[in-house]
Amino acid sequence: MRRHGDGLPGLIPLLAALAVLAAFSARLSATRVYQVDECYNVAQARRIASGLRHEALTDPAAFIVALSGLERGPARARDLFARGRRAMLALFWLNLVLIAACTGERVASRRGLLVLLAAACLAPLWDYGLEIRHDNLLLTGLLLTWYVLRVRPGGRRAYFAAGALAALLQFVAFKAFVYTLPLSAAFLLFVPPGHRAPRRALFFSWAAGVVLALAFGRAVYGALGLWPAYLADASFMSAASAHVTRLPPLEAFVRFFIESPLLLAVFGAALFAAVHELRRDKISTALWDGFVPEAALAAAALAALLVNPRAYAYNLLNLMPFAFLAAYRYLSRSAAALRERPELAWSLALLLYALPFAAAVVWESVWTNARQTRVMDAAEALTGPDDPVYDGVGLVPTRPSVGERWLLDTLNIRAFVDGSAAPAREELARNPPAVVLPNYRTDWLPLVDRAFIAEHYVPLSDDFWTLGADLPPGGGSFDVLRAGRYTVAGLNGAGPPAGARLDGAPFSGGAAALALGRHRLRVAANVRAAVVWTGPRLDAPPRLTPRDHRLLFVDWY
């Protein structure tokens, strides 16, 4: 199982370690807290799957369109998220295998499995690679491009595939060109020696791939009726990225340092060594035999992070794999001393690579989606298919939101705050949601909008509000913004107080259908009561344990 003196672990330990990681990733994928971007992606995919293309900001990126194929048919919100996470789990492991293959090692070998295990211990990939993000599909395309052009050069066919991937990735993510343009230019200007074809032939093969892929994408979007939405979204993203307030990549670099200090050190050494190689030998065919191409690729990915106006930490997804490739190629050629002292190599790997990874993923498992799932179920229990739920995020994709401007994010919140767009309370009044789920995004709204919610909604918990009115002692008049079934509840969710009269009629329990307009509740002078929406099926609202609304979503975990 192991050759004496090669310094590599045996096949069985490698397979056992990978099996443990696979099982843990499956568990983490199913239970970890959902991020706001995931909610938006699932909500938009559900809208496309349901044919609701009239709602603004329907993101028609190829990732969302592909995801919509999984989100069709009747389902609970929790099932839609579970389907998306399972798809991302498969893509996560595909990307890890591609990373290992891009090192040039044969994955089905002990050395290849060791590289795969090392790639599987890149903590930032676990942070975001299991999430429902287009960055994961973008990474797949970039790795495939590198594999066919650098690792397994195939001449015209490889360049045709690379051109097609470059064009298709632009449908996947607006920012794809930041990666594909320099990558394509590098391989068109400096052709690796393995591609046995004239440069002109390779260029035309690449161009043919671009043209055919663009035509294919245009045809698919046209058939789905999404081409106008794609053009509108591209225009919106272009304008927004030009005027958005820049966010420096400090959070991304801090996470890189904390979770992968050894990789960061070796990656930095590889970049300095690559600069030295280029200054000494200039650019020549011989450089393709070393680590300089991988270092240049990683440097381009680093530059893409630096120029990104919103350099959130999830952009590490498109940097870490290439930093890993550069570090691996550099160590393979430059770390003879470590190969001669395997005990030192394994000690460094354990202390500065495996332990930070283990600490990161164990900490992530603390933040679960149990509360979010409970909130989804409660919102669905309180609503019918046509009753809106509002949270500015999209946590309950099986229900419509309030209208075209339901999303709250960093690209549009300024318009709500400075008054350049219609206030959110106008949208809420025009199509009142049955349920409001406060979170840190709704905290961005102006105080007057949040006051409107507080006036017309009753909290079942700090993170779950429903239509109704919390009345003073003795009761009083209240407005029904949405016709439906309501009940009367006492303090702490108790049943209706004795002697309660709703619109002059005795009310002893259950739910009553109330029309739009002004209504009146009478209770004893020293008793407080609330009128609460119960939806089409329930006679009493669900009970929820108290929870701070700011914890419904978390960004740093």
pLDDT tens column, 475-514 = 999 999 999 999 999 877 778 898 899 999 999 889 999 9
Burial of 428 (0-12, 13-18, 19+ CB in 10 A): buried
Q: In the chain, what are the helix, strand and coil shares in percent, each to the nearest 5?
A: 60, 10, 35
Radius of gyration of the chain measured on its C-alpha atoms: 28
Closest by CA to 393, choosing from 33, 32, 41, is: 41
Mean pLDDT of 426-448: 95
Residue 326 sits at the vertex; the CA angle it makes with 138 and 98, to the nearest 5 degrees, is: 40
Q: Helix or strand or coil: residue 354?
A: helix
pLDDT per residue over 376-387, tens digit each? 999 999 999 999
Q: What is residue 108's DSSP assignment?
A: T
Measure CA 11 to chain center.
35
Q: Helix or strand or coil: residue 461?
A: strand
pLDDT per residue over 135-159, tens digit each? 999 999 999 999 999 999 999 999 9
Sign for the pseudo-dihedral over CA of 169, 172, 173, 174: positive
Q: How many Cβ atoms from other residues are within 10 Å of residue 90's Cβ?
A: 10
Measured distance CA(211)–CA(336) in Å, rounded: 46
The pTM (predicted TM-score) of the whole model is 0.91
361-365, 470-474, 503-507, 548-552: lowest mean pLDDT where? 361-365
Q: Helix or strand or coil: residue 522?
A: strand
Give bridge partners of residue 458 from the DSSP assignment: 466
- Check: CB of residue 115 under 8 Å from CB of residue 100: yes
Residue where the block lists tokens 């064009």: 167
Question: What region does 127 belong to: left with phi over 0, alpha with psi -120 to 50, or beta?
Answer: alpha
Domains in the chain: boundaries: 370-390+422-551
223 or 162, greater pLDDT: 162
Mean pLDDT of the chain: 89
Burial of 483 (0-12, 13-18, 19+ CB in 10 A): exposed
Number of H helices, E strands in the chain: 22, 11
Residue where the block lists tokens 């609202």: 541
Q: What is residue 442's DSSP assignment?
A: G
